């Protein structure tokens, strides 16, 4: 199901507000603590979101103006500036940059949203697709922080409801075939969806009923995290199906 750009932006606003409430109370010690991302502290995850907000803002303006999107030469000084900040500054500035990006998206009227187009790595993105890209990154990295604070944390339900219907594109982009051809019928809950996941020379995920009972049944939130490489055994809720299925799928989705 496709959702309007306005709906994606609305949920992105809610994701920003949840991140702000979670991060603002953190002191320097907590900001310097390990996030779920193995090579990043909580502050560094926030730095990534902050620099990403700046870069995404450049994409939005390019899409509105019909100009070429910026390339790596524009990103390098942005990354360098964020990397040089202290943990406290990374956190505070990330919340400001993220809020400014959401506010900019909210300021676009219907005509601007309808006309926004961006050529991006061979794709022609409209406003909904661009907001979807930002929400997917925002929701997952927010979880990287949340689970370091609360081991029971989950990706926000409101984000899950939107993202679950875009997973075919994600699986094709990030899946790494291991050489073993597999076909797994996957059923997810909250919301209910059915998929067929196939790995051979490529990875494909099709939203359609499988032929027979599912091989794997799990919450949609957990399935999203599987595709993002964030469903290690310690962060896996109860699932129905053979445990070996997840063992086989985790290497296909190593994360990024």
pLDDT band at 68 (very low <50, low <70, confident <90, very high): confident
> What proportion of the chain, given as a percentage, has pLDDT over 90?
86
Question: Mean per-residue pLDDT for 112-121?
Answer: 89
**Cα separation, 167 vs 146, whole angstroms:** 22
Give the separation between CA 172 and CA 67, rounded to whole angstroms. Answer: 28
Mean per-residue pLDDT, 96-117: 97
Q: Please report the pLDDT score of residue 2 as a whole number.
A: 55
Strands (E), the chain: 117-120, 123-126, 182-189, 193-199, 203-207, 216-219, 240-241
Over 70: is that where the pLDDT of 92 sits? Answer: yes
**Residue 179 confidence (pLDDT) above 90:** no
Stretch 112-132: mean pLDDT: 90
Whether residue 147 contacts residue 153, with contact meaning beta carbons closer than 8 Å, is answered with: yes
What is the per-residue pLDDT for 54? Answer: 97
Residue 1 predicted with pLDDT over 70: no
Q: How far apart are CA 113 and CA 109, in angstroms?
A: 6
pLDDT of residue 45: 98
Q: Which pLDDT value is given to residue 67?
A: 87
Sorted by where each starts, the structural domains of the chain and their CATH numbers stand as: 5-151 (1.20.120.450), 164-252 (3.30.1050.10)
pLDDT at residue 209, rounded to an integer: 76
pLDDT tier for residue 256 given thresholds of 50, 70 and 90: confident
């Amino acid at each position: 199901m496709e959702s309007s750009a306005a709906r994606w932006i609305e949920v992105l606003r809610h994701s920003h507000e949840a991140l702000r409430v979670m991060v603002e109370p953190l002191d320097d010690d907590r900001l310097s603590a390990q996030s779920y991302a193995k090579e990043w502290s909580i502050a560094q995850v926030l730095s990534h979101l902050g620099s990403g907000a700046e870069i995404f803002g450049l994409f939005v303006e390019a899409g509105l103006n019909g100009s070429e999107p910026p390339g790596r030469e524009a990103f390098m000084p942005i990354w360098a500036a964020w990397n040089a900040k202290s943990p406290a500054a990374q956190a505070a500035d990330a919340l400001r940059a993220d809020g400014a990006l959401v506010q900019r998206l909210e300021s676009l009227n219907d005509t601007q949203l309808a006309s926004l187009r961006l050529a991006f790595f061979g794709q022609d993105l409209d406003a909904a697709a661009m907001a979807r890209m930002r929400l997917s990154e925002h929701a997952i990295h927010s979880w990287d922080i949340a689970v370091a604070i609360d081991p029971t944390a989950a990706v926000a339900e409101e984000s899950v409801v939107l993202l679950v219907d875009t997973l075919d594109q994600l699986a094709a982009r990030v899946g790494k075939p291991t050489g073993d051809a597999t076909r797994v019928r996957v059923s997810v809950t909250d919301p209910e969806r059915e998929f067929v996941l196939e790995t051979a020379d490529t990875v494909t995920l099709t939203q359609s009923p499988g032929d027979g009972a599912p091989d794997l049944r799990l919450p949609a939130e957990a399935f999203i995290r599987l595709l993002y490489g964030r469903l290690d055994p310690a962060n896996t809720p109860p699932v129905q199906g053979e445990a070996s299925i997840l063992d086989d799928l985790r290497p296909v989705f190593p994360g990024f």
